[in-house]
Amino acid sequence: MSKEKDVRILAYESSCDETSTAVIKNGREIESLIVATQIKSHQRFGGVVPEVASRHHIEVISQITKEALAEAKVTWNDLDAIAVTSGPGLVGALLIGVSAAKAASMATGLPLIGVDHIMGHIMAAQLKDEIAYPALALQVSGGHTEIVLLKDPVHFEIIGDTRDDAAGEAYDKIGRVLGVNYPAGKTIDAWAHQGKDTFHFPRAMMEEDNYDFSFSGLKSAFINTCHHADQIHEKLDKYDLAASFQAAVVDVLADKTIRAIKEYQPKTFIMGGGVAANQGLRERMSAEIAKLPDAVKPKVILPELKLCGDNAAMIGAAAYNLYRDGQFSDLTLNADPSMELPYADSMLN
């Protein structure tokens, strides 16, 4: 039996505040991964400043391209395609990656593959284990909170979305009130493990018969509680505040996701995005899925912690699936800040 030729992809990610390059073999194996983070430059502003982000991306992108090739011990001749996040994200930031990838594709003659950032987050799971389809993903990041059905590796359908703030955004906003540096999720998660849910914040849209989320009411309730305590000079326990906030977020995410798993009965459950690194959420989802009857119990793939945040390895993984499906871009590829996942119309009768 003849072995299929290896497919090696150089991938770029620059949609927000991380500039990253990676070389990925056959969509599963990380031969190199470089992540240049700009977080320190944005911290003093309490969030990502688009102009600052673009400038940092430009400064490092050529250097980290060379580093990714060197770390993987390959040259341009060993590659089969160039992939890049083309959206969604900050337009100026996306453009740096897209321009670099187009230049590389033009200079080498290698095919170009534009990748959806959300598809990338979900495909971080593919770098850990094989995904059996249909699959269902809880995609939770700074910009998105979605339940996504995957018919196959390239056809996705969003069945639940946030109506206002994304989960990560809510973490970052309440973190600010507690004096935690941006991005606040990791610290709040650690604090939550040292406190108790004593404030019982609202769980929005729990009872509703849909898979949508809303986190702005929770955020407001949290901020009002802190402001009120300030006014009467009462000191609240930051660990209990963090635990109460996290319990509300995790309750809603877990409840809706488990309902969706029962309805759609996927073969695999995936988590993706920065908030997928949340220990409370990982533990809760694993525990809830373990309780399901065997007939509807999906295989669970939680990506490695370092692959939950933005990185080019996940873009290379998703690009491999597009490569196999023959989905290439041409040099008219542009940054699309509000890009949407490819629609699979046969999934929902």
Residues that bind ligand KG4 (CB under 6 A): 16, 141-143, 168, 171-172, 183-186, 189, 273-275, 277-278, 309-310
Which residue among 54, 141, 162, 278 contacts Zn ion (CB under 5 A)?
141
3, 36, 145, 202 from 209: Cα distances, Å: 49, 42, 17, 17
The answer to whether the annotation marks 142 as part of a ligand binding site is: yes
92 binds, among ligand KG4, Zn ion, none (CB under 5 to 8 A by kind): none
The answer to whether the annotation marks 200 as part of a ligand binding site is: no
The answer to whether the annotation marks 38 as part of a ligand binding site is: no
Mark the segment that binds Zn ion (CB under 5 A) among 78-86, 133-141, 227-235, 242-250. 133-141
189 binds, among ligand KG4, Zn ion, none (CB under 5 to 8 A by kind): ligand KG4
Q: What gap in Å lies between CA 294 and CA 310, rounded to an integer?
A: 34
Q: What gap in Å lies between CA 316 and CA 11, rounded to an integer?
A: 5
Write the binding mask 291 to 310 for Zn ion: x where contact by CB under 5 A, - elsewhere.
-------------------x
275 binds, among ligand KG4, Zn ion, none (CB under 5 to 8 A by kind): ligand KG4
Ranges of beta strands (E only) in the chain are: 8-13, 18-25, 29-37, 81-87, 112-116, 135-140, 145-152, 155-161, 268-272, 299-301
17 binds, among Zn ion, ligand KG4, none (CB under 5 to 8 A by kind): none
Burial class of 208 by CB neighbour count within 10 A (0 to 12, 13 to 18, 19+): exposed
Per-residue H/E/C for 223-247:
HHHHHHHHHCCCCCCHHHHHHHHHH
* Tokens 């910009």 belong to residue: 143
The answer to whether the annotation marks 189 as part of a ligand binding site is: yes
The answer to whether the annotation marks 140 as part of a ligand binding site is: yes
> What token pair was written down for 58?
């430009």
Cβ at position 167, least distance to ligand KG4 in Å: 7
Q: How many residues bind Zn ion (CB under 5 A)?
A: 2
Nearer to ligand KG4, 16 or 248 (CB): 16
Q: In what order do the strands lie in the sheet with 155-161?
A: 155-161, 145-152, 135-140, 268-272, 299-301
Nearer to Zn ion, 146 or 310 (CB): 310
The answer to whether the annotation marks 87 as part of a ligand binding site is: no
Q: List contacts with Zn ion (CB under 5 A).
A: 141, 310
